Amino acid sequence: MSYSHPPPDLIRVRLDISYDGGAFKGFAENVGVTTVAGLLRAKLEKVYSQPITLTCAGRTDAGVHARQQVVTFGVRGKKVEPIRLRNSLNALLAPSVVTSKVSIVETQFDARYAAMWRQYRYLVLNSEIPDPLLAPTTWWVDKPLHLESMQEACEALIGLHDFTSFCKRPKDIPNATLVRRLLQAEWTVEPELNGRHELLRFEVAGSAFCHQMVRSLVGTLVDVGRGRFTATQVGQILAAKDRSLSSNVAPPHALSLWNIGYPGDETPVWLPQRTT
């Protein structure tokens, strides 16, 4: 919650957290199921004995992890001790949800609206045989993928586009814009594991993302690697603004919200010098 005129006793708190999405039905609260926000809010209300409203930098779907998620909330009439709160939350919630840092911020700071960009990471295990230790955080694809074609297909995605072909349109806002700006989209190969695995890493960053956008992009790009689409066809699918033309969404368990950028943060090497 943000205030046009914050109460004088309001303290605005920022949490930097990470979590194993496999244990939750997404970040946002939902009646009858366990979510990150529901669990976190309940613990904060226990600590401060008052209603708490959370705002996050980016909602994650069921099964999706977060290496860095930023959450803000306000506390009234209470003393906030960052290290003590961090330790209390970790004692109550770790290892499923881990708080790495607690900060007191300006009363108008909002985790969602202050964020300049979000970066996601998706892992694909491209191997003839699966790996039980990597299974919780990778999508196993047994057929060889053509990485060069997958990377070439990413070129059409960079910049400001209407991503209707790769987004699930919100039911409550049928006319919502699906125009988004991508700042990064690239595939890299992780070092071999046990001499027999090839772990592919997809990193994508943008000012914002629509529902299921990253997983839809991954599903389509992997189909490029399989030879079902050419790299050129990805640009054509994007331009068509037709969700039926893209591939099925990739599984959620291999996706992580990886990093979030705010004013004053160090500029990542992949970020273009000019994004307008």
Q: What is the mean pLDDT of each run of 10 residues along the chain (276 residues)?
A: 69 98 96 96 96 96 97 95 97 96 96 97 94 95 95 97 93 86 94 70 96 97 98 98 97 98 90 60
Same domain, 91 and 128: no
- Residue 18 has which token pair? 């990470």
Provide the whole-model pTM: 0.93
Helical residues (DSSP H) of 94-230, grouped into ranges? 147-154, 213-226
Answer yes or no: is 274 within a domain.
Answer: no
Same domain, 129 and 256: yes
Answer yes or no: is 2 within a domain.
Answer: no
Same domain, 68 and 159: no
Single out the residue in 52, 85, 105 at which a domain terminates: 105
Catalytic residue selected from 61, 142, 172, 265 = 61
CB atoms within 10 A of CB 221: 30
Same domain, 67 and 143: no
Answer yes or no: is 225 within a domain.
Answer: yes
Amino acid at 198: E
The pLDDT value recorded for residue 269 is 85
Same domain, 223 and 93: no
Same domain, 163 and 88: no
- Residue 215 has which token pair? 């997983």
The pLDDT value recorded for residue 150 is 97
Answer yes or no: is 110 within a domain.
Answer: no
The pLDDT value recorded for residue 173 is 79
- Give the single-character DSSP code of 197: B
Single out the residue in 105, 139, 171 at which a domain terminates: 105
Same domain, 220 and 99: no
Residues 6+ apart with CB under 8 A from 239: none
Same domain, 92 and 190: no
Same domain, 15 and 131: no
Answer yes or no: is 34 within a domain.
Answer: yes
Distance CA 223, CA 217 (A): 10
Single out the residue in 77, 105, 133 at which a domain terminates: 105
Residues 6+ apart with CB under 8 A from 157: 182, 185, 217, 234, 238
Tell me how far the alpha carbon of residue 178 is from its chain's centroid: 17
Using an 8 Å Cβ cutoff, are 199 and 138 in contact?
yes
Same domain, 229 and 177: yes
Residue 169, domain CATH: 3.30.70.660
Q: Which domain holds residue 235?
A: 117-261
Answer yes or no: is 266 within a domain.
Answer: no
The pLDDT value recorded for residue 93 is 96
Distance CA 188, CA 146 (A): 12
61 carries an active-site annotation: yes
Instruction: Specify the number of domains making up the chain.
Output: 2
Same domain, 123 and 243: yes
Answer yes or no: is 272 within a domain.
Answer: no
Residue 99, domain CATH: 3.30.70.580
Answer yes or no: is 71 within a domain.
Answer: yes
Same domain, 131 and 69: no
